[in-house]
Structure 1
Amino acid sequence: MIIQISWKNVWRNRTRSLIIMIAILLGIFGGMFLLAFMQGMTEQRLSSALKTEVSHIQIHSEKYLENNDFNQYMTDISAIDEYLSTDKRVQGYSTRIIIYSLAKTSEMGAGVRITGVDPENEINVTDLNTKIIDGSYFENTRGMPIVIGEKLAKKLKAKVRKKIVLQVQDTSGKTFPSAFRVAGIYKTTNTAFDEMNVFVRNKDLRELTGFNENNAHEIAIYLNNRENVTAVENDLESIFPAFTVESWSEGNAILAYMSEAMDQYLIIFILIILFALFFGIANTMLMAILERRKELGMLMAIGMKRFKVFRMIMYETIFLSLVGAMLGIIIAFLTITYFAKNGLNLSIWSEGLEAIGYDPIVYFQLDTSYLLQIVVMVIITGILASILPAIKALKLNPADALRIDN
């Protein structure tokens, strides 16, 4: 009975009830919209970085990471190669030779990171072959091919089939210039990566540097499931203790921090919205109590127990919160579904976003667990917001309330 009365009371002053419901709707919609936007942007950045820049796991020699010294390489990697080729958790792996050096054209020069790869294996680890915007991925090129980023190509004024001279170091420490021909130009969502990284074939670098086929500076590993990273890392560390095994979170602290901190930031943001809604709901219900003092006093005068009055006010507040929240969740869900499929185009800020590694088209993403959390938090907010107005109603003196002149 109290529940039915409370529901009818909500609609006695439609304007006031609709205003507070719309406020709750907008708050929940805004919170979920931002949640999905930020989660989608974060996941896109992480997925892009893992597939293009860092991979899930990397293996190096024990001292290589101290200063990226060319002579600190792994020897006798055949055992690792054999192990990874039989591990079903591994989607692909790539052995690499890495040289930090200088790239020059007749126009300009720039510092670069030269990565020697096996193109056939590399496509199972990175998606660089899908990022080619001009030319090809190590194909249809005479001589020694090189793939460079669009940002670097503009800086060096290099074009497909044009020559680039790299300063290469051999195993004896001697450096010398070597001419490569641009096979393709790639473009990722990270212009800093594009400007710094060039890719050549492993076999070309081995011939130039005298690097043994069984040696490598780095082995990059991409797994079928990101959830297996810790398990695979632990297995590799126990089987190959002579090498340094790092997961993506250990090798890239910024990505790890971004991934771990984002959920916390989003929850804090939702709590701030609910905190604001708390005061809005409480204020509205206090106004309603003041307007209905005579009515509430009459109910208590004819025998309604104070606890039932308390419950009635609480139910009214919860109804206001739930209706507004559910409408907000439904509208937000439809909006998020649309942007999850079509993406939100932020191309007008593409230059700034790509400078920090973000795609200008953001595809929204929201874990379903967040929906349940938001509903629970809204209910709790409604209950807490109803306590003060309900206590105010309990303090009414029926005799005094009946004397109020409406």
Structure 2
Amino acid sequence: MQNLKLIITMAWRNLWRNRVRTSIMIAATLFAVFLAIIMRSVQEGVYERQIQNMVSYYSGFLQVQNPAFSDEKTIDNSLIFDSDLEQKITSIPEITSYSPRIESFALASSEEVSKGVMITGSDPQLEDELTGLKKRVLEGKYFTADSEELMLGKGLAKYLKVSPGDTVVFYGAGYHASTAVGKYPVAAILEFGAPQLNDNMVYIPLKASQRLFSAQEMATTVAVNLKSRKDMKEVQSELQLAIGETDNEVKNWEELMPELVNSIEGDRESGKIMLYVLYMIIGFVIYGTLLMMIQERKREFSMLVAIGMKNKMLSLTLMVECIIMTAIGAIFGSLLSIPITSWLHNSPVKLEGGAGKAYEQVGFEPVITAVTDPALISSQTWVVAIMSIVLSIYPMIKLLKMEPLEGLRG
């Protein structure tokens, strides 16, 4: 215990004997931790934004479907949405909102322009509670339950060259091969975070969609949102048990959108490669700083060994110095990153021009944001701190083998 106290005292005093050298080592660790946290926070922030845009603002975390709907997404594979199913959904406390929908594809036309679109028939009030759809109105007015109006994404509106007050004609297939033809005035233009929603989405009232597709009292899906995403798997099992194993099935968003999951996982792996490159650069900087410190203090170390200090104690003193410098740099690096990540989380930066278009082309909203996850901050802090300590092992081994005359002669 006495030796440990002596080692810590010597290490602390040695640090401030050469403030420039100590500052370089602390700064190397500080910027390493800061850059690692910012890189990971921004990367995960983009993923969270994408999930929020596609899940919270459209699909819901869970969906109740006819079992056949997964294999063949047609109106024929709909379910009966009645008071019994509604009661089973609302009986689970973790479910915050739900919305029955009819989703089907049709050809949308306006004058000489036409395009295949996704028509979503939903209850205006329930849809707004589920996804906050009313906040997405960019131009015009939000539709009502008994109206015969539609709302569409701004990208689709631009393609069809329509604005509020214009008319769009639909032509498609309805329930049991019936013909689905309808003409609807445009009530509003919507703006979504996900480019694919802006370019393809059309909303009409649920009752109007049931008449259009000849599917009275039916729905293709019931989208469900939860209090917490962490409870998704548990609520999925509970809801499936409530509605019965043979009637309908409950799927989570990961099962509904495997392409989104794969896209995020693929991008996350490429992000890890960039992070490993950053770690490599950081490692060279820290290792070079340590070697420089050993070389500059070679005569000092030789003198200490010559007057009787054991190589082992000298090596431990250097290790304590590295731990102190690493701890200071890691703590200040993580503290410095917190206001930056908090600012990006609360005030996302929207990308314009070529950078924004590049994000949209790969299906991401052109926005730079960040997550403020304490676990992410602590993990990156520990990675860099441990890396710094591991890199100090080689200089310590050199000190263990150092002969007194080696440094004095130099």
Q: TM-score, normalised by structure 2?
A: 0.89
Distance 1:237 1:188 in 2: 30
2:140–2:189: 8 Å Cα contact kept in structure 1? yes
2:130 maps to which of 108, 125, 130 = 125
Residues 52-73 of structure 1, C-alpha deviation per residue, up to 9 Å, x if partnerless?
Answer: 2211111221212223222121
The residue that corresponds to 2:375 in the other structure is: 369
In the alignment, does 2:217 pair up with 1:226? Answer: no
The residue that corresponds to 1:294 in the other structure is: 299
In the alignment, does 2:211 pair up with 1:202? Answer: no
Shift of 1:361: 3.6
Task: Give, as a single letter, the amino acid of the residue that structure 1 aligns with 2:163.
Answer: K
1:89–1:223: 8 Å Cα contact kept in structure 2? yes
In the alignment, does 2:133 pair up with 1:159? Answer: no
Shift of 1:271: 5.3
Q: Judge which range, 118-127 or 335-344, deviates more.
A: 335-344
Q: Judge which range, 17-26 or 179-188, deviates more.
A: 17-26
Shift of 1:146: 0.6
Q: What fraction of aligned residue pairs are identical, expressed as a percent?
A: 26
Shift of 1:355: 4.4
In the alignment, does 2:190 pair up with 1:186? Answer: yes
Change (3 A) 1:269 1:319: farther
Aligned residues: 402
Shift of 1:263: 7.1
Task: Give, as a single letter, the amino acid of the residue that structure 2 aligns with 1:101.
Answer: A
Shift of 1:262: 7.2
Distance 1:198 1:42 in 2: 25
The residue that corresponds to 2:385 in the other structure is: 379
The residue that corresponds to 1:341 in the other structure is: 346
Task: Give, as a single letter, the amino acid of the residue that structure 1 aligns with 2:77.
Answer: Q
1:148–1:197: 8 Å Cα contact kept in structure 2? yes
Distance 1:76 1:295 in 2: 82
Task: Give, as a single letter, the amino acid of the residue that structure 1 aligns with 2:224.
Answer: I
Shift of 1:267: 6.5
Shift of 1:77: 4.1
The residue that corresponds to 2:3 in the other structure is: none
Distance 2:280 2:348 in 1: 30
Distance 2:406 2:164 in 1: 90
Shift of 1:168: 4.2
2:124–2:145: 8 Å Cα contact kept in structure 1? no
Task: Give, as a single letter, the amino acid of the residue that structure 2 aligns with 1:149.
Answer: G
The residue that corresponds to 1:144 in the other structure is: 148
Shift of 1:273: 3.6
Distance 1:192 1:208 in 2: 24
Distance 2:45 2:307 in 1: 57
Distance 1:183 1:24 in 2: 56
Change (3 A) 1:260 1:333: same
Matched position secondary structure for 2:143: coil
In the alignment, does 2:317 pair up with 1:312? Answer: yes
In the alignment, does 2:397 pair up with 1:391? Answer: yes
2:28–2:286: 8 Å Cα contact kept in structure 1? no
Q: Judge which range, 259-268 or 293-302, deviates more.
A: 259-268
- How do residues 65-144 of structure 1 correspond to structure 2 at under 5 angstroms? 65-75=70-80, 77-139=82-144, 144=148
2:107–2:115: 8 Å Cα contact kept in structure 1? yes
Shift of 1:259: 5.9
Task: Give, as a single letter, the amino acid of the residue that structure 2 aligns with 1:174.
Answer: S
Matched position secondary structure for 1:366: coil
Distance 2:200 2:97 in 1: 24
Q: Judge which range, 337-346 or 148-157, deviates more.
A: 337-346
Residues 179-201 of structure 1, C-alpha deviation per residue, up to 9 Å, x if partnerless?
Answer: 10101110101222122121111
Q: TM-score, normalised by structure 1?
A: 0.90
Matched position secondary structure for 2:150: strand
Task: Give, as a single letter, the amino acid of the residue that structure 1 aligns with 2:216.
Answer: N
Distance 2:398 2:139 in 1: 72
Change (3 A) 1:209 1:275: closer
The residue that corresponds to 1:237 in the other structure is: 240
Matched position secondary structure for 1:71: helix
Shift of 1:42: 1.5
Distance 1:206 1:345 in 2: 39
Q: Judge which range, 238-247 or 358-367, deviates more.
A: 358-367
1:37–1:365: 8 Å Cα contact kept in structure 2? yes
Distance 1:98 1:390 in 2: 67
1:161–1:182: 8 Å Cα contact kept in structure 2? yes
1:165–1:177: 8 Å Cα contact kept in structure 2? yes
Change (3 A) 1:339 1:106: same
Matched position secondary structure for 2:75: coil
Change (3 A) 1:319 1:268: farther
Change (3 A) 1:375 1:85: closer
Change (3 A) 1:192 1:378: closer
1:351 maps to which of 346, 351, 357 = 357
1:192–1:355: 8 Å Cα contact kept in structure 2? no
The residue that corresponds to 1:247 in the other structure is: 252
Matched position secondary structure for 2:71: helix
Distance 1:401 1:85 in 2: 78
Task: Give, as a single letter, the amino acid of the residue that structure 2 aligns with 1:305.
Answer: K
The residue that corresponds to 1:216 in the other structure is: 219
Shift of 1:335: 2.1
RMSD: 2.6
Matched position secondary structure for 2:309: coil
Change (3 A) 1:284 1:194: closer
1:166–1:178: 8 Å Cα contact kept in structure 2? yes
